Amino acid sequence: MEALILLTLVGIFWLVSSRRWRRRFVNPLAIALMVTLFVTSPLMVSLTNWLITLTLPADTGEKVDAIVVLGRGPDLRNRRVELAEELWEAKRAPRIFASGMLDAREIVEQLQQSGIPNKFLSGEACSQNTVENARYTSALLYPQGIRKILLVTDPAHMLRSLRLFRSHGFTVIPYLSPLPSTSHSQYKVWITLREYVGLLTYQIRGEFRTQPAMALEHPDPKVIKKFSEWNCLV
């Protein structure tokens, strides 16, 4: 709405300004505002989300070893907790694991409050990014024989997360947690475009390389030490 108002004002200014001012200032500003309107339009939101989820495998409904919930901040937390609870009640997995420094403890606490016994809940509050989500989750679950997981995160974040968790030894079934309906179009487009950049960056850095089975079965001692030093196991 703000961009549309600005575009209207620019149009008025264009009508009353000189040709020189139009060429130097008004025309570039108008083009920038029109691009902004297009990028934040519902069409662009739908297109960017469709493209980034296009290759995701469908949920087959099969049972898995664990439900893994990724933290993405307090605004997205409640819906993820609801979905994890629904999946557990549907007996899709015998346990739920939460990952993320700012969310894991809160996710587990909310699941406890919903009535899920603590023995079926665990997590790690060490990870500060998606690479660490996958690395630390694998360090804890893979040696326990956890191989197949339901991965819960938002549509934009899912492809990058799925590829990372696969590289760390898991068979992944994605389970999408939609962004809140109250989220602005600008935010939805921004978070999706950021994921495209993240996918490219991780590809260049080699983050999606498959980890050797020996390394997965015997996690890096530095990671295990970090869990102890940071007291971040849930």
Tell me which residue has tokens 């956890």: 146
Average pLDDT, the chain: 86
CB 57 within 8 A of CB 176: no
Residue type, 173: I
Per-residue confidence (pLDDT) for residue 53, from 0 to 100: 82
Instruction: Characterise 11 by phi-psi region: left (phi > 0), alpha (psi -120 to 50), beta (else).
Output: alpha
What residue type is 22 in one-letter code? R
- Model pTM? 0.81
What are the pLDDT digits (tens) for 144-157?
999 999 999 999 99
Residue of 115, 127, 93, 78 whose CA lies nearest to 234: 127
pLDDT tens per residue across span 119-174: 999 999 999 999 999 999 999 999 999 999 999 999 999 999 999 999 999 999 99
* Closest C-alpha among 165, 170, 169, 172 to residue 202: 165
At the topology level, CATH places domain 54-178+186-230 in: Rossmann fold (3.40.50)
Work out the average pLDDT over 198-208.
Answer: 94
Q: Please report which confidence band the pLDDT of residue 19 belongs to, taking 50, 70 and 90 as the band edges.
A: low
